[in-house]
């Protein structure tokens, strides 16, 4: 009889945190799972640790191989998985004991959901903090256009989606981009995004995984390559949405709007025009009646896109300084006021804002 869940973990030299990570899965309150652990050519004692646990718990499926990288290792795990649901686990992270139970419960509650993630507790050099992921489908889809808003070690998805969509990690289908296979960091972004734009997905607000941030983590070691791959993937998603080619530099600007200031006027106008197209097509494609949320969440982008002028930038900075003692929220309200009058700044507006501040 096949297990309900297949948990997949790929390990490469994960000895320092591997025991805690394995035990966090074995101690789950939901017990009907297989635990596929792939030793990807580790040169430390990872394989020995995996074998010790496999001898004690028959739910562990140990696999050893030469080093082929995380992407191909995960695909090997997908092919081996027998469960109705597939969950991810990284060798340096800890799943809280009720993680699997709560995710299965959510699947049972909403039958249309095909993939679930959650918020995480980040354990880094400066202590622990909670990172909350977007929860609503419109906001998930909007954010995933530009960056992965799912924490990969938290995801669980229905296995049937793999066969239905012929999905595996690193694959671009019908891409406008010239990239055909991505074997490196951010492979999860591509995999998850392709599901999110076609099916119902969700994030649980409650953190279900402790995510370790350390010097040897992939997000640190391969940070630059991860960002480069993420830009390629974002480019792929946006081009697929609007049916038009855009540059990697544009994607970088949408994610880091301060770079707008270095553009020439002609380039700036093209970037703004394409961004307006993205918003319009997105809202039409996904019948998003709450388009104002998209604008509000990307106010930092619109700030630079629509107010590209050294004079106006200085005025806006002055307004921000005027309101910073009260709250940053007031500054945002100030921008909303400007948006409502068709983005025209004049001295009367500045005088009005100053008078309001003086009275408060």
Q: Could you write out the DSSP letters of every residue in 255-274?
A: HSGGGGGGS-HHHHHHHHHH
Rounded Cα–Cα distance for residues 157 and 167 (Å): 12
In angstroms, what is the C-alpha Rg of the chain? 23
Asked if 144 and 206 sit in the same domain, the reply is: yes
For 146, list phi and psi in degrees, rounded to 5: -115, -25
Rounded Cα–Cα distance for residues 103 and 205 (Å): 12
244 in a domain, yes or no?
no
Asked if 113 and 200 count as a contact pair (C-beta separation under 8 A), the reply is yes
Per-residue pLDDT, 83: 97
242 in a domain, yes or no?
no
Asked if 75 and 203 sit in the same domain, the reply is: yes
Asked if 157 and 51 sit in the same domain, the reply is: yes
210 in a domain, yes or no?
yes
Average the pLDDT over 139-150 and give the result.
Answer: 88
Residue that finishes a domain, picked among 236, 268, 301? 236
Residues 170, 172, 173, 177: what is their CA dihedral angle, to the nearest 10 degrees?
A: -170
Asked if 321 and 346 sit in the same domain, the reply is: yes
Rounded Cα–Cα distance for residues 219 and 234 (Å): 18
pLDDT category at 264 given cuts 50, 70, 90 is low
Asked if 159 and 120 sit in the same domain, the reply is: yes
Encode pLDDT of 297-312 as tens digits.
444 444 444 344 444 4
Asked if 78 and 176 sit in the same domain, the reply is: yes
243 in a domain, yes or no?
no
Residue that finishes a domain, picked among 236, 271, 302? 236
Rounded Cα–Cα distance for residues 335 and 316 (Å): 9
Per-residue pLDDT, 323: 45
Q: Helix, strand, or coil here: 104?
A: helix
Q: Residue 233 contacts by C-beta under 8 Å, 6 or more apart in sequence? A: 182, 186, 189, 190, 193
Rounded Cα–Cα distance for residues 65 and 42 (Å): 9
130 in a domain, yes or no?
yes
Asked if 231 and 282 sit in the same domain, the reply is: no
Give the angle 179-88-191 at the CA atoms, nearest 5°: 25
Q: How many CB atoms are closer than 10 A to CB 358?
A: 8
Residue that finishes a domain, picked among 207, 236, 265? 236
Asked if 131 and 26 sit in the same domain, the reply is: yes
| Lowest-confidence region among 79-93, 127-141, 309-323 | 309-323
Per-residue pLDDT, 302: 41
Q: Which helix (H) or strand (E) holds 92?
A: none
Say which CATH number the domain at 18 has. 3.90.550.10
Asked if 327 and 207 sit in the same domain, the reply is: no
Per-residue pLDDT at 134 exceeds 70: yes
Average the pLDDT over 223-228 and give the result.
Answer: 79
Q: Residue 8 contacts by C-beta under 8 Å, 6 or more apart in sequence? A: 36, 38, 74, 77, 78, 81, 86, 87, 88, 89
Per-residue pLDDT, 248: 84
72 in a domain, yes or no?
yes
Rounded Cα–Cα distance for residues 333 and 216 (Å): 42
Asked if 119 and 131 count as a contact pair (C-beta separation under 8 A), the reply is yes
Asked if 308 and 191 sit in the same domain, the reply is: no
What are the beta bridge partners of residue 5?
Answer: 33, 85
Q: Residue 206 contacts by C-beta under 8 Å, 6 or more apart in sequence? A: 102, 118, 119
Asked if 345 and 308 count as a contact pair (C-beta separation under 8 A), the reply is no
Rounded Cα–Cα distance for residues 197 and 182 (Å): 19
Q: Helix, strand, or coil here: 159?
A: coil
Report pTM: 0.78
Domain with 74 in it: 5-236
Asked if 262 and 342 sit in the same domain, the reply is: yes
Asked if 135 and 60 sit in the same domain, the reply is: yes
241 in a domain, yes or no?
no
How many domains are contained in the chain?
Answer: 2
Rounded Cα–Cα distance for residues 168 and 247 (Å): 26
Q: Residues for the chain: how many in total?
A: 360
């Amino acid at each position: 009889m096949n297990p309900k869940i297949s948990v997949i973990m790929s390990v490469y030299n994960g000895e320092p945190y591997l025991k805690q990570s394995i035990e966090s899965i074995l101690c789950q309150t939901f017990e009907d799972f297989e635990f596929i652990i792939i030793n990807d050519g580790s040169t430390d004692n990872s394989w020995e640790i995996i074998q010790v646990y496999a001898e004690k718990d028959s739910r562990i499926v140990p696999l050893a191989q030469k080093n082929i990288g995380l992407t191909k290792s995960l695909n090997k795990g997908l092919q081996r998985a027998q469960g109705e649901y597939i969950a991810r686990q990284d060798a340096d992270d800890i799943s809280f004991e009720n993680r699997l139970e709560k995710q299965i419960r959510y699947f049972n509650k909403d039958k249309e959901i095909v993939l679930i993630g959650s918020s995480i507790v980040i354990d880094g050099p400066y202590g622990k903090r909670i990172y909350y992921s977007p929860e609503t489908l419109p906001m998930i889809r909007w954010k995933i256009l530009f960056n992965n808003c799912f924490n990969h070690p938290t995801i669980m998805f229905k296995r049937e989606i793999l066969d239905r969509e012929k999905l595996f990690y690193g694959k671009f289908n019908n891409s406008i981009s010239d990239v055909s296979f991505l074997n490196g960091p951010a492979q999860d972004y591509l995999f998850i995004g392709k599901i999110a734009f076609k099916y119902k997905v969700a994030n649980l607000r409650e953190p279900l995984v402790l995510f370790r941030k350390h010097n040897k983590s992939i997000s640190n070691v391969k940070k630059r390559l991860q960002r480069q791959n993420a830009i390629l993937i974002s480019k792929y998603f946006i081009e697929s949405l609007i049916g038009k080619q855009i540059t990697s530099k544009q994607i970088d600007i949408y994610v880091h709007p301060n770079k707008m200031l270095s553009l020439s006027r002609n380039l700036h106008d093209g970037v703004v025009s394409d961004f307006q197209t993205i918003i319009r097509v997105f809202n039409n494609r996904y019948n998003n009646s709450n388009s104002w949320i998209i604008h509000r969440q990307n106010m930092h982008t619109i700030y630079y896109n629509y107010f590209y002028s050294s004079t106006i930038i200085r005025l806006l900075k002055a307004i921000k300084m005027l309101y910073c003692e009260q709250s940053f929220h007031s500054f945002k309200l100030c921008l909303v006021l400007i948006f409502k009058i068709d983005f025209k700044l004049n001295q009367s507006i500045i005088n009005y804002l100053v008078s309001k501040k003086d009275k408060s």
